[in-house]
A and B are shown apart, each in its own frame.
Chain A
Amino acid sequence: MTLDLSSKDRSLLAGEHGPAGRFAMSILVRMAEAFGAERMLDISQAHIDSTVYQGEATLEFAERLADMDARVAVPSTANVSGVDADNWQEWAVPGEWAEKAYRQMQAYERMGCTPTWTCAPYQTAMRPTLGQQIAWGESNAIAFANSVIGARTERYPDMMDICAAITARVPARGLHLDDNRAGDVLLRLVDIPEALQRDDSFCAVLGYLMGKIAQERVPVIDGFTATPSEDDLKALGAGGASAGAVALFHLVGHTPEAPTLEAAFRGRDPAETHELTVRDLRRARAELTTFDGDRLDVVVLGSPHFSLEEFRRLAPLLEGQRCHPEVLFVVTTGRMMRALAEQAGLLGPLREFGVKITVDTCILTTPMLPPEIDTLMTNSAKYAYYTPGLLDADVTFGSLEDCVRSAIAGRVERDESLWQG
């Protein structure tokens, strides 16, 4: 099997469009050859996860491209960076880190990326459409774009996303091709009460379990009888893309490529079927928590970035209350969502409660939290999954209401009633 390059691909590779085009195309061609792709295909949008500052190498990569006058050839949103460009000094971020992370942001802006600085680009106006061929990095965003929107992206790593954006080309393989979008594994929800399905923590837990079971395969969930919100679907994908490598899931009756069970599997039979009960989900929920005590240093919401709708839900829960003086309460979001929440008058109650809002980044991609923090509480499966390794802290997983109640009390308080089943 040989790779058939178009004349444009060959001219990019020959450097006729400049050194950045040659550099980007040579990486894409090496990937296409390694994976046995037969051709390249056009993409019309990109989301750039390479913006995450991870040290000298990512900065050098970005500045080398920018210095070669690289320009994105398609509309490209920027993922979170390594620093909240305006407010990093309020936190424990070292000055040298902030300076380098900021230089990396500037490099991607020079390349023409739209400065969205969010891991939830699907919340912006640059949301792709059903069937659109795109190249997205950021695991949760990939899962959302493929599953909830029905756009088509492979699971792109950092650095490949920007190469795709510069050339507007990707290897024609994986989830870009219809045939690979069929479900592999069936997850059937059995006797899950609707009240539990509607709880905001349910989809995060289900996503975590989905990721553990499916790993890199395409899971299909059947038996979800409630109506999931976009934030529920966001939580489902983020959980699945953290505990596994889920880049596409189908939720029968709710996501665009799964009007029916048969459609989700494209007429094929599932390779495996798993029946999930309240007991299985309760066990998965317990795995997201790493300790038994009720100690609480910080509550963090917003991975993936908090949406306008989530600000709408949070504001009334906090109204007239105060966060416990020994608990830090952080919401991570994008600039656009913060601006919309401000315009909607939702940030007043948050400020009075003592919430700190961080934009452009998150607690895992910038060293912002004080090192003495030992215990963190969140309603995000993604934060819960990565916190022990990245922050060397213990974590408690709970619902949005659990998080608020605990922040007021100064210790972990969780409502277990829905999970007894």
Chain B
Amino acid sequence: MAGVIQGRVLVAGDVEGEVLASTEPLSFWGGYDQTSGEIIDRRHPLSGCVAAGKILALPASRGSSTTAAVLLEAVRRGTAPAAIITDGADTFLTLAAIVADEMYQRTFAVVSVDTEDFETLASAERLHVGIDGSIDVV
């Protein structure tokens, strides 16, 4: 991949980390173990992977409204991803990051990109997400 991809910042953060990516959306309620950061949706391709501290690339959330609560609890416990990159802006993930920031003054970054860029990023191993939403391979 050449150059820097410019994402749209929903919740800003400056993070670098290993990428965990899927083209399948995820409901964090019923799909993410807030005690460990493991993906537990047994129908999801990332089932069994641990996303805590990583850069999680997913097209979007799906399913339960409680997805936001699971992510808030994960931030409190330190088991949330460091950043979530989505293909298009996602309400549930953004709200969770905003409430975590308001309550705990720490959160995860949420950045959305378009479909073509999402596919490029999903194949990377490590990424850096800048505070301005710029994303580059490390």
Chain A residues within CB distance 8 Å of chain B: 23, 26-27, 30-31, 34-35, 49-50, 52, 54-58, 60-61, 64, 137-139, 142, 154-161, 174, 211, 215-216, 241-245, 287, 290, 364-365, 385-386, 388-390
Contact = CB atoms under 8 A, between A and B. Distances in A.
A361 B94 CA distance: 27
Contact of B94 (A34, A137, A161, A174): A34
Given A57-B76, A61-B72, A61-B103, A242 B63 contact: yes
Contacts of A245: 25, 60-63
A142 B59 CA distance: 21
Contact of A138 (B42, B43, B65, B103): B65
A388 B94 CA distance: 27
The 3 closest A-B pairs by CB, nearest first: A157-B68, A386-B30, A54-B69
A241 B63 contact: yes
Given A139-B64, A216-B60, A31 B95 contact: yes
B76 A55 contact: yes
Interface in B20-77: 25, 27, 29-31, 34, 40-43, 59-70, 72-73, 75-77
A58 B71 CA distance: 10
A388 B42 contact: yes
Contact of A290 (B42, B59, B69, B94): B42
B66 A155 contact: no
A174 B92 CA distance: 13
Interface residues of B, number: 40
Contact of B67 (A31, A64, A157, A389): A157
B10 interface: yes
Contacts of B25: 215-216, 244-245
A54 B73 contact: yes
B87 to A, nearest CB: 10
Given A34-B11, A54-B73, A216 B62 contact: yes
B63 to A, nearest CB: 5
Nearest to B103: A61
Tell me whether chain A's interface is mostly helix, strand or loop, or mixed. helix
A244 B68 CA distance: 16
Nearest to A26: B102
7 contacts: A35-B89, A35-B94, A156-B91, A157-B66, A242-B27, A290-B42, A364-B30
Contacts of A56: 73, 76
Contacts of B72: 54, 57-58, 61, 159
A385 B30 contact: yes
Given A31-B95, A57-B73, A158 B65 contact: yes
B15 interface: no
A137 B95 CA distance: 13
Given A49-B66, A388-B43, A55 B98 contact: no
B30 A27 contact: no
Nearest to A55: B73
A338 B43 CA distance: 34
A60 B31 CA distance: 23
